[in-house]
Amino acid sequence: LIILVDGFEMLENYVHQIPESVKNILAKSTKPTTIIYKNPKGLAKNVVANDNTVAIRIVQDEFCQQLIHKFGKPIVSTSANISGDPTPKSFSEINTSILDSVDYMVNLRREKINDKSSTILRIREDDIIEVVRE
């Protein structure tokens, strides 16, 4: 699961401390970047991993920012692929079992091709940033 927030202000509601190194990485990032934070706060237990971490992404997409802002809370997202399957590069590549199980799909950019996966980084106990996926 990934928690989607609309900016640093919202992010601060769910993590105790955002290291300066993370702020710098996110400010310079040109593609979606998810950070795995330890010891989150204010989130439902079912979105926090067994190791007491949570993956959070500050969205860059304007539609997503507006949706989250209007909702007033983060949105929980799952992957668009089944574990072990390749990451879909377009809407048409998403497994139909996933499409059939969602509550709602936005009819937006369904023809767009995404050549790059998002970056996933983890903040280790010593506040060192570890690359999980580049």
pLDDT tens track for 73-107: 999 987 777 878 888 888 999 889 888 988 888 88
Q: CA 74 to CA 76: how far, in whole Å?
A: 7
14 within 8 A of 78, measured Cβ to Cβ = no
Res 123: pLDDT: 92
Average the pLDDT over 28-48 and give the result.
Answer: 92
Q: pTM for the full model?
A: 0.85
Q: Examine the pLDDT at 124 and tell me if it is beyond 80.
A: yes
63 within 8 A of 10, measured Cβ to Cβ = no
Res 104: pLDDT: 85
Q: How many other CB atoms are found less than 10 A from the CB of residue 65?
A: 16
Res 56: pLDDT: 95
Q: Examine the pLDDT at 125 and tell me if it is beyond 90.
A: no
